Structure 1
Amino acid sequence: MDFLLSQNNLLILTVAVTAVIALALPSILKGKTKTLSVNQAVQLINQQNGLFVDVRAADLFKAASIAQSRSLPTADIATRHNSLPKDRPLIVVCERGRNSIAAASKLRKLGFDNVFSLDGGIQAWAQAGMPLSRKS
């Protein structure tokens, strides 16, 4: 009798753990931000009319930014996200590619489905020899 009871407990525990994983997995996978290389980002811009969203501070954006990118500092995402199109892929850019992942996650939580992070940020863009726009 003790053996059956132990087997039942093991079976119940296995079913419970499997159910929790099955329920949580879609949320976990959806929460991950896909990163793009510079070349992949350029392809996305050209083929799917993507948009670069620069989440660095305004002074850094003015000093050097990707042409036709939009400035939306991380601190302003919650209040200014409505200015972004939901029907275009968004490629979030920061200085080195770290802050853009968190910013892309915020945008996803605000209803933007097609959001990516530029791997290596603006520094990777510059190192690849891609043009930067400088505003005075």
Structure 2
Amino acid sequence: MYGSINLRQTLIALSVIFLAGIWMANVNSHHYDIKNVTISEADSLIKAGALVIDVRDQDKFNFRHIPGAILIPLEVLRAGIPLSLAAFKSRPIVIYCNEGLSHGPEGTAILQKAGFAKAVNLESGIEGWAKSGMPIQRG
């Protein structure tokens, strides 16, 4: 009798842990209806004059960023679109974060919702950009 109770309790506990793991994996996962671009596509857009926005924080930007990128942390975009971006509403904009999975997509969605229809997310972020040997600027 005790063996079957312990087995049942163990199976219930494992099921709860499994379901909690699935829930935790999805709790911060958002799907944004945005366009993601590859490093090659982003590079072409940048060479054609796209604005490049880094949505990470100041320390990460200072450590490394795409040359010519401007820093507009995601918290700033969440609070409201800076007036300085108004002139870029019809231009392509490449947004990136660290790995292209959270801040970049959210920043892109915020800009698109504000009418920046040509805003795209660099799907691999600065990590993928750097790993592929693309130019990096420090400071």
| TM-score of the superposed pair, with normalisation by structure 1 | 0.72
The letter of the residue matching 2:93 is L
Q: Secondary structure at the match of 2:80?
A: helix
- Equivalence for 2:47: 46
Q: Which runs of 5+ in 1 are unaligned?
A: 1-30
Q: Which runs of 4+ in 1 moved over 6 A?
A: none
Q: Does 1:87 align with 2:90?
A: yes
Post-superposition Cα deviations, 1:45-72, rounded to whole Å, max 9, x if no partner, equal: 223x111100000111011000000100
- How many residues matched? 104
Q: Does 1:116 align with 2:120?
A: yes
When residues 81 and 91 of structure 1 are mapped into structure 2, their CA distance, relative to the original with a 3 A threshold, is same
> Any residues of structure 2 matched to 1:1-136 within 5 Å, and which?
32-47=33-48, 49-77=49-77, 78-84=79-85, 85-98=88-101, 99-135=103-139
The letter of the residue matching 2:54 is D
Larger % of helix: which? 1
Post-superposition Cα deviations, 1:56-95, rounded to whole Å, max 9, x if no partner, equal: 0011101100000010000001334322221310111000
Distance 1:97 1:71 in 2: 15
Q: CA RMSD in A?
A: 1.3
Distance 1:60 1:80 in 2: 21
Post-superposition Cα deviations, 1:9-59, rounded to whole Å, max 9, x if no partner, equal: xxxxxxxxxxxxxxxxxxxxxx61111111110111223x11110000011
Q: Secondary structure at the match of 1:96?
A: coil
Over the matched positions of the two proteins, sequence identity in percent amounts to 32
Q: Which runs of 5+ in 2 are unaligned?
A: 1-31
